[in-house]
Amino acid sequence: MSGAEVLIVGAAAAFGAFLTAVAGLGGGILLLTVMVTVMEPGVAIPVHGVIQLASNGSRTVILRRDVDWPVVGRFAVLLVPAGVLGFLAADQLPVTAGRIAIAVLALLIVWWPAALASTTALLGSGRAAFVPLGGIAGFLNIPFGVTGPAIAPVFRRHLVERAAVVATFGAAQTAGHLAKIGVFAGGGFDLAGHLTVSGVGIGAAIAGTWVGTRALHRIDERTFGHLFRLVLTAVAARVVLSGLW
């Protein structure tokens, strides 16, 4: 990669981390969208996981008192075995169609509350729904790279306080990216061969998270709710349009 391309990835990582810290989601898919324009998808997805591990991990550390750890524990149960299955099936899944499907599901969930209720009912009752949700996310994370827009509304439904939503979703995503990195590394991907772009992205993501988490505490609950829906809609629409284009 050229120096300019590395800087582009760094800028996207910083802005994406800031956006996720403030709105609760959006930064991961924004970063991946930028990365696949300068990297092969098979390289971009695991490197994206490394950068997002730093982004979500730093947000988790900063907001650790707001994390609902039982939810994170349930979400993490099936991440690795589902990730291995996703890795084995990756070559058989249409990546663009899969991302469009995830984005359309996100739009339905956020603008049609009954769809969210139906979805969580299929997963199970109460917080037990986070166990199969983690399995689904772990499987789809490998071939498609991101699942945040589709699963974030489930966290929003169960966790009312904005800080709890951002912190718990960040911790769950940290576990998800850690599992994804482990699966790719186990499959032979050379993470050490991409240290420069990973290092720049990690530093930028941590800086963006630090700024964003301070802005989060200045946003009231109603504004956060509107911002959450707006960002999710914009990100999902961008995925659908780019896939169709």
Query: 184, exposed or middle or buried, with CB in 10 Å at 0-12, 13-18, 19+?
Result: buried
| pLDDT tier for residue 67 given thresholds of 50, 70 and 90 | very high
Structural domain including 138 reads: 3-244
Q: Which residue has the higher pLDDT, 85 or 238?
A: 85
| pLDDT tier for residue 109 given thresholds of 50, 70 and 90 | low
Stated pTM of the model: 0.79
Tokens at 233, concatenated: 């809609």
Q: Which of 25, 89, 84 is nearest to 52 (CA)?
A: 25
For the chain, what is the mean pLDDT?
A: 83
pLDDT score recorded for residue 178: 93
pLDDT score recorded for residue 198: 92
Q: How many CB atoms are closer than 10 A to CB 161?
A: 13
Tokens at 74, concatenated: 């349930």
Q: Under 8 Å CB-to-CB from 44, ≥6 apart: which residues?
A: 32, 35, 36, 145
How many residues can be counted in the chain? 245
pLDDT score recorded for residue 70: 95
pLDDT score recorded for residue 120: 66
Cα-based distances in Å from 29 to 20, 35, 101, 146, 210: 10, 10, 14, 6, 19
Q: Is residue 187 scored above 80 in pLDDT?
A: yes
Tell the residue number behind the tokens 């582009």, with chain if given.
8
Q: Are 240 and 103 in contact (CB under 8 A)?
A: yes
Query: 244, exposed or middle or buried, with CB in 10 Å at 0-12, 13-18, 19+?
Result: exposed
Q: Which of 77, 51, 69, 188 is nearest to 136 (CA)?
A: 77
pLDDT score recorded for residue 221: 67
Cα-based distances in Å from 30 to 25, 150, 205, 221: 10, 15, 12, 24
Q: Is residue 140 scored above 70 in pLDDT?
A: yes
Q: How big is the CA angle at 68 (ends 128 and 123), to the nearest 5 degrees?
A: 20
Q: What is the distance between the alpha carbons of residues 17 and 77, in angstroms, rounded to a whole number? A: 26
Q: Is residue 115 scored above 90 in pLDDT?
A: no
Give tens-digit pLDDT for 145-169: 777 777 888 888 888 788 888 899 9
Q: How many domains does the chain have?
A: 1
Q: Are 194 and 43 in contact (CB under 8 A)?
A: yes
Q: How many CB atoms are closer than 10 A to CB 188?
A: 6
